[in-house]
Structure 1
Amino acid sequence: MQEKLRELLSGPVEALLKQTDNTTWPTIRKLLQEAHESAFSGSAAAISGFRMDEQTKAKIDARLEKYVRRMVEDKAKEEAGKVLTHMKKRFKTKFSDDSNSIPRVWIWNRQENIEEIVRTARSSSLEVLSVLAVIRLDGDDDGDKIQATLNSALLDKDMSTTTNDQLASNTWEEVPSSKTLIIPLKCKGLWEEFKENTKDIVSKAIAEQEANALFQLPPWAIACLIFVGYNVITRLRRYTLVPLRYTGGHR
């Protein structure tokens, strides 16, 4: 029965934890409930020919519930250990593709607000960190508080000027250590590492935008640049190609 539960839950739970958003934990809880009920019904049917009191049934039910919870918790711990990879992947996707999933590569232009795109991509990456920071299998934590704390401490404020460091702690407010996967202080360090690892992507986009700006100038501006450039080249040639005159004395 446990093997059946593993086959039923392992793949979907792993996929949900890798593609995190605000529906991740509610969806996982729903999957667990359905799998648990299915497994218990199967167990009851398999032993229907045997006499079993309610206490024994309750023990079987509790054992199955404990197993599925442990399985999900182990998988969540595994993915939390790879959170930086997931954050970078999310950033690259959100930064490089527009809202219609069309790549922005090579088409950076003056209409693209790179600063705003960076903020949106970072916000999405921060959501990944929020979802994987805490195990939420009991439905008593929707993650809004942690998300708000991370946004305030990392996204909305300049870390160098923040006097009240909201992440200088080893615990989340109202979250037991048994449910904590990534402590606040660790989140702060991960965020700095994440920004360092993704800055080259942003720098490249800015460079492309600046390089492409020339080709997006109005025709009259391009003509002026060509004219000015031509005059400069002509003058340089005039002064550098003057024939050398012989100034030596007669023999």
Structure 2
Amino acid sequence: MSPFGDADFLSGRTNVVDPCGQEWQSHWIDNWSLLLILEGKGEIELETGCLPVVKQDLVLIAPGYPHKFRCPGPWVLLWVHFLMRPHLCPLPGWTECQPGARCCNLPKREFLRARSALQEACLLDLRRAPNWYLLAYCLLESVVLRGCRVAAENTSNENVWLPLAQQMLLEPVTNDFSMDRIAAGCGMSRTKFYTAFKRLCGLSPRAYRELHQMRRAQLLLENTALPVAEIACQVGIANPFYFTGRFRKFSGSAPSEYRSRLWKGKKQPPSR
């Protein structure tokens, strides 16, 4: 049995048979989601754009990223919602194709192995016989690691700068922080860096950084009682008024309003 009461492992198979296709919203965004496309094609719509997917694609979506599925015709996929264990993070060699989403197309042999592992994991989840959880989780992890390996092999030399750029963008702001410095660290001009980063991630470097800043601010507002100015500082924005404006644009409400609405009638979390 799962140590979390089985709430951290939910799997299944989706078969869309309507020749006109279908569209639906995912309501399970608190955990990681792994999907393997068995037949057909479709797209996954995230806040930052659409991710087209085809047969043999393996897709990994991080927690906290709302997404919608859409397909023009028949579509078959296996899926698992799960809790990622710490030893798999960060995912070695598998960079995001856009914020919160990773995707790689598996070669035929790797696809067949991944399909077999996920089918067995789904069957174990369905039957839930004694000690099913650890075996199902090991099968799931083998597929995630397979995706990491394939993604790393598919990464061309021209894209090896991307993980470094993402890391530098998410570092705390210092006096020497600038897009020119990050571009130079990646061996590119500012213009080339902006173009290449947006092509691979779907967002400009500044928009990518701000999206992660706002998501971190959401977590701090939801789980701590820190003052808004302190949260602004923690996410790397020195001016709390500027932070409030950006957060309002991101979420539709000011930070204090967002927290008040969330915690209305509940016990406030401790200040940390």
Pair in the same fold by TM > 0.5: no
Structure with the larger helix share: 1
What TM-score do the two structures reach when normalised by structure 1? 0.31
Give the TM-score of the pair, scaled to structure 2: 0.29
Q: Which has the larger radius of gyration?
A: 1
Which structure would you say has the larger RCO, counting Cα contacts within 8 Å and 6 or more residues apart? Answer: 1
